[in-house]
Structure 1
């Protein structure tokens, strides 16, 4: 079974690039693999769910006022 992949080009500030590059080197991974790890960590984290709930609650409060 072949999984289709999509390309994604990112423009990031130099300071962020350096941090990602350093993290990749530390873990012995490519820059691309490290970015994928970061994306997966973000989307699978409970913290993201909590942030979304907080934003949803803030929007409800604004509408109610």
Structure 2
């Protein structure tokens, strides 16, 4: 699941500058600019295009991802 949230600018999550440990082993987590998404492999693949078109005014969007890793 992915959520659009607003966090205060001083929230601790913004302190991650380099790669950081997530919940799944074998994956790299880091903050990147939306303009740089095409330079990375984002999993699942549909996330990069969906992030570019986020519209918080339309409410919940349900996406069935049937890709196999």
Q: Same fold (TM over 0.5)?
A: no
Q: Which has the higher contact order (CA 8 A, sep 6+)?
A: 2
Question: Whose helix proportion is higher, 1 or 2?
Answer: 1
Instruction: State the TM-score, normalized to the length of structure 2.
Output: 0.22
Between Structure 1 and Structure 2, whose CA radius of gyration is higher? 1
